[in-house]
Chains A and B, each alone.
Chain A
Amino acid sequence: MSTVLFDTPGPRTQARHRIYSTAAWLLLVLAIAGFVWRMQTEGELTYAKWEPLITPVFVKALLLDGVLNTVKMAVFAVVFALIIGLVLGVGKLSDRSWVRWPSWVVVEFFRAVPLLLLIIFIYFTYGVGDGIGSFWSVVIGLTLYNGSVLAEVFRAGVNAVPAGQAEAAYAIGMRKTQVMTLVLLPQAVKIMLPAIISQMVVALKDTSLGYYILAPGLTTVGRQIYGEFKNQFQVALVMAALYIGLNLILTFLATKVQHRLVGEKTPLVLADGDVGNVQSGRAL
């Protein structure tokens, strides 16, 4: 696309672009150099600040207590959210209004409420003391939120299956449940996979909100480490790197699974009209 916006550059334009490139590189190098210089003068490059991050005990704490718990929270949340999303999504498509309306209310409510508000409420009402604890507070919050978003994704996915499929299924005498489980959902999954994958990344990122209620996870472990060693900047860098790494791995694996399952290089993409405001529910 971007190539059609401008001509193949001629010699003069190329010269101009070279100037831009050089200027951009220069600025970039200056910015990085300035940054490193700043770290140096503020004493952030001293070995003492980095030492905890390469000490086996803390590496173990970061990787085992941090990453492992973060991944555990995300896996629980995604699995539960898929189930809840499926139930609510099918509920929203139901012919019976007493199923449809409650599903609609639940989905709209949990999509519009910030996840942190939800997690704080769950934790301080049901989690503290003998309650369910911070780990499950985060998981439940994530489940309710992502489940609602996925419900909307499921609904849009089912609606995006060509109408003839359901009509044909009814015509050969299938029941409503059979039409849904045998005909519509298998095809809808194919359409929905990209949206489900991006929702999984969102769930993984949102586990970081456990920081507020000290749920076991990367951000809490990081908080404890920088609280102890006053190496906030280094820990923040490592946390960001770990999260980025996790997300990239997750995206890579999910895309591989998608290719395996769907067998297409480019999966069907939901058109704007079909999706409705699916997007507006994403935490991004």
Chain B
Amino acid sequence: MDDIFSRFDLVLRAFWLTIQLLVISGIISTVFGTVLAAMRVGPVSVLSKLGALYVSLVRNTPLLVVFIFVFVAAPTLGWFVETPFLLKGTIALTVYTSAFVCEAIRAGINSVALGQAEAARAIGLTFTGTMREVILPQAFRATVPPLASVLIALAKNTSVAAAFGLMEATGRMRFFTNNNADDRPLIFLTFALGYIIIVETMSFGAATLERRWRVAK
């Protein structure tokens, strides 16, 4: 009991690493996922098929296997040998999350009423113009709920990094439970509470954004 509270700085530091993983891979996956979504709805069929292939491959692969690729398999090919663990974790999470971000954004684009795109085309906007000025601003708002789900899932998925030597919250819990057999439920609840705070903050933020940005229909 005393151990976890007397060394609470370790708990906080672990959650700080979790948040770093979450924020960095969240931002990069959003950017990368948007590019993928643009490829998928774009007119160049090779790119669109490539995007579809990427999404269906990654979506059916467990995150743990993606981590094995980055942490265990890639070094045998001479990649990521000297790369810091945080960066490798970010890469694995980004590869995985981008596919889901792509699907969320594509769903958002599909939710924009057909007439909007038609009107944009009618006044002579190009594909890029249609996307930038009309579709994406609306799609991004419709994307808030699914994108928030993806990012919340990402927050929980950062825990997989614990299996590959990152001392983020889940790895740290393992460390504490190892030393204090009797307090395991308490330690578990402490760490669970940390995750619950992160997840609930995110869903509260998403709900607020959703209300504020709701598209008038």
A112-B196, A239-B68 given; A21·B46 CB < 8 A: yes
Stretch at the interface among A76-84, A85-93, A182-190, A229-237: A229-237
Interface residues of A in 9-40 (CB under 8 A from B): 9, 13, 17, 20-21, 24-25, 28, 38-39
Q: Can you name the residue of chain A whose Cβ is closest to the Cβ of B150?
A: A284
Q: How far is A269 from B97 in the complex, measured between Cα atoms in Å?
A: 24
A170 close to B (CB within 8 Å)? no
Q: How far is A232 from B162 in the complex, measured between Cα atoms in Å?
A: 19
B64 close to A (CB within 8 Å)? yes
CB pair A124 B77 closer than 8 Å? no
Size of interface on B: residues with Cβ below 8 Å to A: 69
Min CB gap A150→B, angstroms: 16
B118 close to A (CB within 8 Å)? yes
Q: Can you name the residue of chain A whose Cβ is closest to the Cβ of B71?
A: A232
Chain A, interface SS category: helix
A4-B118, A233-B73, A280-B148 given; A244·B177 CB < 8 A: no
Q: How many A-B contacts at CB < 8 Å in the complex?
A: 187
Q: How far is A205 from B46 in the complex, measured between Cα atoms in Å?
A: 29
Interface residues of A in 34-54 (CB under 8 A from B): 38-39, 42, 44
Contact partners of B152 in chain A: CB under 8 A: 280
Q: How far is A6 from B134 in the complex, measured between Cα atoms in Å?
A: 13
- Which B residues fall within an 8 A CB radius of A? 40-48, 50, 57, 60-65, 68-69, 72-78, 97, 100, 109-110, 114, 117-118, 121, 126-127, 130-131, 135, 145-146, 148-150, 152-153, 156-160, 162-163, 169-170, 173-174, 177-178, 184-185, 188, 191-192, 195-196, 199-200, 203
Min CB gap B16→A, angstroms: 16
A1 close to B (CB within 8 Å)? yes
Q: Can you name the residue of chain B whose Cβ is closest to the Cβ of A43?
A: B76
Interchain CB contact (< 8 A) of A280 among B47, B121, B203: B203
Q: A21-B46, A115-B156 are in contact. List 20 more A-B contacts (CB 8 A).
A: A1-B109, A1-B110, A1-B114, A2-B40, A2-B41, A6-B43, A13-B43, A24-B50, A124-B184, A125-B184, A205-B61, A209-B163, A211-B163, A212-B163, A219-B62, A232-B76, A233-B77, A240-B61, A284-B100, A284-B150
A113 close to B (CB within 8 Å)? yes
Interchain CB contact (< 8 A) of B195 among A113, A120, A284: A113
Q: Can you name the residue of chain A whose Cβ is closest to the Cβ of B43?
A: A6
